[in-house]
Each structure stands twice: as structure tokens, then as C-alpha cells.
Amino acid sequence: MKIGVIQFEPLFGEVDRNLELAGSLIMKSDADLLVLPELFNTGYVFTSKEEAISLSEQIPQGRTTQMLCDVAKEKGIFIAGGLAEKGGNGIFNSSVLVSPDGYVGRYRKVHLFFEEKLWFDPGDEGFKVYDTGVCKVGIMICFDWFFPESMRALSLMGADIICHPSNLVMSFCQDAMKTRCLENHVFAITANRTGTESRGGKSLHFTGKSQITGPDGRVLFRAGETTEEAGIMEINVNEARSKKVNEYNDLFKDRRSDFYSILTESDR
């Protein structure tokens, strides 16, 4: 199968323009599964909770999810991408997964970064894995990568491919994803954005270098720092199904969960 990442610069609040650009980039890309950046429809640097509310949409009724469903149907592909979600119980930094048959599911970012904590509510649904029929897909968003538990949970749930919509402002993630993919023997598609957003006296620069990483920790594709581009790779998803390192070691069977209990103690 072919998996791909779409990197571009969303402009803050220009939802029409961002959806149109994302849609045209998707239409030009030949892949079975494509990943768009975090908050690709709205931009990132919110200045108030009200602004986040006003730019958020219901999932799947909102127009961003509907646009993605439309192009997914037209192209016959799966797409994951990030948007601000107006939920019944809060405003979330979410990603949807859509298929040729319509909306599949959503992920609400569990580990919020920096001022996101002012605009969004922390994800309340945990991690989920979706079976596309060809592969199993897990979603995490940007800063989730910093917590090894995110990709570990998705991988233990059976994910072959981690879709990773991102708006990265630090320099660590791309190299760290080599370790993340290696330790879990999965593929990951990190879709970052480019450009600088300056609003309300704040300025954030997004670092591009969107990346597709293989289960052996190899970087299969890395985009430019500032380019608008799609990166597509042909992969054999079966490579993510075996967790064997050698004839004696299996990364999942060798886990010693009896000794990991401190990782899930809630009173820490």
C-alpha cells in the first residue's frame, strides 16, 4: 500500500482557503492513506478561548470533516487530519479519520502542549485503533509523541501505522520518531506544517520536515523545512505485524508488564 504525508502552511482563520488548498493537494496525491497536519483548517496560534470556540466544528457534521469525506470518496482513500472540535462536553484539538465510505472516527488530543491548555479541553476518550481492512491505524497528535505511552498504547492495541498530525515548533520529534517506531515496530506518518504565525503578540515558527518512519526506525521520507509538498511511500504493512527482533526476542512478548505497574498508578 501507499502512505503519504501532506505538508503545507495553513493561514490562521482562513478556513475556506485552507480547505481548498488541502483538498487540491489531496487530489494530486496518489496514496491509500494520507495524513494532514494538526489544526490544518484553522491554523494554530489562537488568542482566546472564544476564538477557538468560533473556529471549532462538530465532528462529523462540520464542513472540514465533510470536505475530507468528499475527497476520500472521490479518491477512494483514507485521510487523517486535525481540526478544532466543538464537542458536546468541550472544545478539543482533534483529528478525524475518514474513508471512501465516509467518517470513521476521531481522536481527541490527550497531551495538550503549551497554551493549547488555555483553548482546548484535554482529550477525554483515550487512544483508539481503526481497521481499514488493509491495515490498522492509530492516531496521535503532535506533542503526544513526547510521551512513550501514546504510541505504545496504540501499538499494543494493534496499530500498524500511526497517523501523527502535527504543528511542531521544537526540533526533537523527527529523530525521536525513529526510536518510537523502532521500539514498537510500527510505521508512523508525521504530518507537520510550515510557516510562522504571529498573532496577539506571539509568534510561533513551524518546522516542516514531515516524516514517514519505518518499523526498523529508518526514515523513509522527510520533507523540506519550508516546502509545500506531498511525500508518498510504498510500504509493506506486514513489516509492522511481526514484533520479532531475532529468534529469541519479540518486542511485545518480552514485555514484563508485572514490573510496569508504576506507569498506570493514578495518584502520581
Of residues 14, 183, 228, 250, which one binds a second copy by CB under 8 A?
Answer: 183
- Measured from the CB of residue 144, what is the shortest distance to a second copy in angstroms? 10
Instruction: Provide the residue type at 88 as one letter.
Output: G
Cell triple for residue 45?
496560534
CB of 83 or CB of 151, closer to a second copy: 151
147-176 mask for a second copy (x: CB under 8 A)? xxx--xx--xx--------------x--xx
Q: Does 19 interact with a second copy (rule: CB under 8 A)?
A: no
Which residues are annotated as catalytic?
Answer: 38, 109, 142
CB of 145 or CB of 187, closer to a second copy: 145
- Measured from the CB of residue 165, what is the shortest distance to a second copy in angstroms? 18
Of residues 60, 103, 217, 239, which one binds a second copy by CB under 8 A?
Answer: 217
Q: Does 238 interact with a second copy (rule: CB under 8 A)?
A: no
- Measured from the CB of residue 147, what is the shortest distance to a second copy in angstroms? 6
Helix (H), strand (E), coil (C) string for the chain: CEEEEEECCCCCCCHHHHHHHHHHHHHCCCCCEEECCCCCCCCCCCCCHHHHHHHCECCCCCHHHHHHHHHHHHHCCEEEEEEEEEECCEEEEEEEEEECCEEEEEEECCCCCCCHHHHCCCCCCCCCEEECCCCEEEECCHHHHHCHHHHHHHHHCCCCEEEEECCCCCCCHHHHHHHHHHHHCCEEEEECCEEEEEECCEEEEEECCCEEECCCCCEEEECCCCCCEEEEEECCHHHHCCCECCCCCECCCCCCHHHCHHHHCCCC
Answer whether 181's CB lies under 8 Å from 215's CB: yes
- Measured from the CB of residue 87, what is the shortest distance to a second copy in angstroms? 17
Q: Does 89 interact with a second copy (rule: CB under 8 A)?
A: no
- Measured from the CB of residue 245, what is the shortest distance to a second copy in angstroms? 8
Q: Does 111 interact with a second copy (rule: CB under 8 A)?
A: yes
Residues in the site for a second copy, rule: CB under 8 A? 110-117, 122-123, 126-127, 143, 146-149, 152-153, 156-157, 172, 175-176, 178-180, 182-183, 217, 245-246, 248-249, 251-252, 254-266, 268
